[in-house]
Structure 1
Amino acid sequence: MNHSKKNSGHKNNYTSLRLSKIDLRVLEWLCIFGYMSTNQIAQARHLGTDSRGQHHTARRAAQRRLLQLTKMGVLRRIEQPVYRGDRSGSKPYLYALGAGGAEIVGAELGVDRRDIAWQPSSAERNFIFMDHILSIVDYRLALEQACHSHGVILETFIPDRILRRDPVKIMLGEDESTSKSVAIIPDAFYVLRLPGQPEKVARCLLEIDRGTTTITPRFWDQRGHRQKVKAYLALAESKQLQEYFETESLWVKFVTTTQQRLQSLIEATVLAGGDHRFWFTSMDQLGRNVLNEPIWQVAGRQAEWHTVL
């Protein structure tokens, strides 16, 4: 494969680069999510294939290609900061689109250049912000691999950075005098469809809980978990659920840090009026099949573990 660049005057013509379908898949994912780790990119490169036992080989191949694309200006490599007291040592590189990647995505995938975030941002040094994004990517990878295993079509997956551009808003409060407008921005909205069965469609809202949200806020707290549950319940009773997400059935999937946190979230959900429409699992379960293995607990039905399929 020829990876040489052609120049037009003093301007790089990135669109003349010969990129593989795998390269373009990585660029598309980075356009959607903004950032990915080396391991995540290695997984994304081999989605839909049986790469069991080839983890190290896939990672090394991804590292070599990422280095090439970074030197070309297609990608931008980000070194994660190591803070005082962190004994884990150096952290793996993260990658984002570079100027060349943004140009290629615009040309090859038809994305408006103004909608492509490729320039460095101060948020890249915010550990909580970056960790949250990487958790959404982890879920997408687990979901897509499970879909491939069972012939399920992942028809749509829209992360929060896109949903935030036009958030759904509802009025929440005890009465008109205390009601306030609340924006609902799930961490992702996705659609699953069974092939050959057009009526078998699941539209799901994803919430990644990293333990930074107050579970039972003492005062009115827009970031509190119970507040979030009440907002979703209000959404389920409104016309906006159909208008924004094209469904009449609310289904919210929470992925949290630990089993202890999971149980606390379920208890708070039930106290807020939540029911079987709220499902929960922990991040350590994402290595299993998220569709057909019993890794989910359901609000109000905690006695059993559930599967999606």
Structure 2
Amino acid sequence: MNNGATVAIATRRPRFHRASDPPNFRVTEDDIAIIRHIARHRFLRSTHVADLVRRSIDRTNDRLCHLFHAGYVDRPRAQLDYYPTKGSAPMVYALADGGARLLSEQDAATLEQVDWARKNREAGRPFIEHQLEIADFEVAAQLAAESLSYRYANAEDIASNLPAAAGSIWGDPFALRVTVSHQGLRHDIGLVPDIAFAIDLQTGARRNFLVEIDRGTMPIARADFSQTSIERKLRSYLSAYASRLFEQKFGWNSFRVLFATSDDNRVRSMIEALRSIQPPGAAGSSLFLFASRDTLNAADPLTANWHAVDGSLRRLQPQQEAKSL
């Protein structure tokens, strides 16, 4: 029934198509910080961005919306695979060509040499979801470190201080080529961790970590060792450790390899695989720690309980520092 009052109907801008008449706005330093975070992580949810820039989610969504329609960030269309059933899911963002040009002007980066629009169109859902799980871990670790008054060093921070001779493989300074001997055969294997990070403690000491984000799809072991498996990955890290590759390339005398995996059953399977290769107490067996997604969701990576091969629980935050906080 119309009582004569005028009803204003708000027009929603399209989610995955840029508006033909985007509103004018001025790009601020905070907006540039948002674009930098998205560029570094490849894909971020709006909630990740809000946490990293310390803004409310409403304020963050407003700025992301402006940046999207102005061509600085993208909304990968692979999200359409699950938006019909997960309409309230946080929007996922990626770097757009306009954002790459802006960062090239601001930071003398070379991001504009990549066709980001094409890369974002071609990114499939499995790849994006894996990258988001990597972002889940990295953002949580960074925020936890900062809350505990530690300095968080991401992969770029660490790489900037590596010896010039370290070089990089496949454009990744933390990638290694490892020779693994198995059943009388030698295998040349590429080893590329999903994440490298460090925390600088209040004592001045640095703790270095490499992280494998496991979605539970890779077989624990295979009859054919030339195919990927968790066992092959464990053996590769152990071979690199035994040959002192980490010390030679990164200068690391001590570090941990973290496996963040899908569930507790998967954690137990990984530990059993490690014990069959390297029993507790053997050289290199203490290199690894394992945690499930539920464990990491209930806490942060630094204060969560990680499973060691000897059955003990460990925290990445040193206990003596925990007591002093």
Normalising by structure 1, we get a TM-score of 0.79
Alpha-carbon separation, structure 1, partners of 2:65 and 2:270:
41
For each residue in 1:169-207, what CA deviation from the matched residue of structure 2 results, as whole angstroms up to 9, or x when unmatched?
0111248x7212111100011121124x33x11111010
Q: Which residue of the other structure, out of 57, 63, 66, is the alignment partner of 1:65?
A: 63
State the one-letter code of the partner of 2:91.
Y
Question: Which runs of structure 2 are paired with 1:244-259 in the superposition (5 Å)?
Answer: 244-259=249-264
The equivalent residue for 1:7 is none
Q: CA deviation at 1:260?
A: 1.5
Unmatched 5+ stretches in structure 1: 1-16, 52-57
Q: CA deviation at 1:221?
A: 4.2
- Does the aligned pair in 1 maintain the 2:72–2:98 contact within 8 Å? yes
The equivalent residue for 1:283 is 293
The equivalent residue for 1:14 is none
Question: Which runs of structure 2 are paired with 1:1-309 in the superposition (5 Å)?
Answer: 18-46=26-54, 58-79=56-77, 80-82=79-81, 88=86, 91-113=89-111, 118-121=116-119, 124-158=122-156, 164-166=170-172, 167-174=175-182, 178-195=185-202, 197-198=203-204, 200-273=205-278, 275-287=285-297, 288-291=299-302, 293-300=303-310, 302-309=311-318
Which protein shows a greater Rg? 2
State the one-letter code of the partner of 2:225.
W
- Does the aligned pair in 2 maintain the 1:142–1:286 contact within 8 Å? no
For each residue in 1:128-182, what CA deviation from the matched residue of structure 2 results, as whole angstroms up to 9, or x when unmatched?
21111001111111111111111111123359xx97414310111248x721211
Normalising by structure 2, we get a TM-score of 0.76
Change (3 A) 1:205 1:307: closer
Change (3 A) 1:304 1:156: closer
Alpha-carbon separation, structure 1, partners of 2:70 and 2:29:
17
Alpha-carbon separation, structure 2, partners of 1:36 and 1:257:
20
Alpha-carbon separation, structure 2, partners of 1:230 and 1:186:
14
| Greater displacement, 140-149 / 260-269 | 260-269
Alpha-carbon separation, structure 2, partners of 1:117 and 1:268:
42
Alpha-carbon separation, structure 2, partners of 1:206 and 1:158:
15
For each residue in 1:91-126, what CA deviation from the matched residue of structure 2 results, as whole angstroms up to 9, or x when unmatched?
543211112100111121221235656233277552
- Does the aligned pair in 1 maintain the 2:101–2:112 contact within 8 Å? no
For each residue in 1:225-247, what CA deviation from the matched residue of structure 2 results, as whole angstroms up to 9, or x when unmatched?
01000000111122421233320
Alpha-carbon separation, structure 2, partners of 1:116 and 1:33:
16
The equivalent residue for 2:164 is none
State the one-letter code of the partner of 1:272.
I
- Does the aligned pair in 2 maintain the 1:35–1:134 contact within 8 Å? yes
- Does the aligned pair in 2 maintain the 1:203–1:245 contact within 8 Å? no
How many pairs align? 275
Change (3 A) 1:203 1:164: farther
| Identical-pair percentage | 23
Q: CA deviation at 1:215?
A: 0.6
Change (3 A) 1:266 1:123: farther
- Does the aligned pair in 2 maintain the 1:207–1:253 contact within 8 Å? yes
Unmatched 5+ stretches in structure 2: 1-24, 158-167, 279-283, 319-325
